[in-house]
Amino acid sequence: MKALETKNLGITFGGLKAVDGFTISIEQGQLYGLIGPNGAGKTTVFNMLTGVYKPGSGAFFLEGKPMLGKSPVEISKCGIARTFQNIRLFDKQSVLDNVKLGLHNRFPYSAVSGVLRLPSYFKNEKLMDETAMELLKVFDLDGEAHTAAANLPYGKQRKLEIARALATQPKLLLLDEPAAGMNPNETAELMENIRFIRDRFKISILLIEHDMSLVSGICEEITVLNFGRILTSGKTADVLSDPEVVKAYIGE
């Protein structure tokens, strides 16, 4: 069973086809890259896969289960999580609380138990704290659990956003330019983190990235988007050496 299958996904904005005929297949546990020039439609694909945009055509499936028409909350519960090109954290809340926000599907309790502070509330809060701390340890952030998210260095904010996404227990993790703004050392560390995440949590990862050193270093296969359409797909080394891909990035 494929982790993700998309079949001819497309969407139009004001008569302009932003994405047209997007078809890919991602294996279980695969690290897959989605690349292309700015404005190619990559983030639009992520928005369709997470229910933010409703595709105008096509369909997509998570482990064989149809996702088309589901809300962002429903898609999250089914097992698709994402990060964003521009980091989206709750800046004034602690590092720990940011991760706990991703646990709401796993540790539900009623509003009554929360308001009245019933035993079930405290039990869930304890379990959430323990689970969130385990995730923070993965990224070496447990020592800063009670620090406001806004006070973390940029690279650690990126890690925190990934940790929060993992808190939802995804089957497929979508990373939107995770290396954006990172220096070479931070990017190298991120590469190791992504490999570790895939192996530790047994998930599939689809990432958008402009840093070709990261793409070539960790992605097993990639798809290239250009003007909303797939230019080519295949093994990473083959795709990156394709003259049409080079032309799309740097021109004639």
**pLDDT tens track for 55-79:** 999 999 999 999 999 999 999 999 9
Is it the case that residue 199 has pLDDT exceeding 90?
yes
pTM over 0.75: yes
pLDDT value at position 115?
A: 47
Q: What is the DSSP letter of 241?
A: T
Asked whether 132 and 100 are in contact (CB, 8 A), the reply is yes
Q: What is the mean pLDDT of residues 29-39?
A: 94
Kindly indicate the confidence band of residue 155, based on its pLDDT and cuts at 50, 70 and 90: confident
Kindly indicate the confidence band of residue 247, based on its pLDDT and cuts at 50, 70 and 90: confident
Burial 128-163 (b: 16+ CB within 10 A, else e): bbebbeebbebbebeebbeebbeebeebbbbbbbbb
Is it the case that residue 89 has pLDDT exceeding 60?
yes
- For tokens 């021109």, what's the residue? 251
**According to the CATH classification, is domain 1-79+170-252 in 3.40.50.2000?**
no
Kindly indicate the confidence band of residue 103, based on its pLDDT and cuts at 50, 70 and 90: confident
Domain ranges of the chain: 1-79+170-252, 90-167
The CA-to-CA distance between both ends of the chain, in Å, stands at 40
- Rounded distance between C-alpha atoms, residue 202 and residue 199, angstroms: 5
Tokens, residue 247: 């032309």
- Rounded distance between C-alpha atoms, residue 75 and residue 210, angstroms: 26
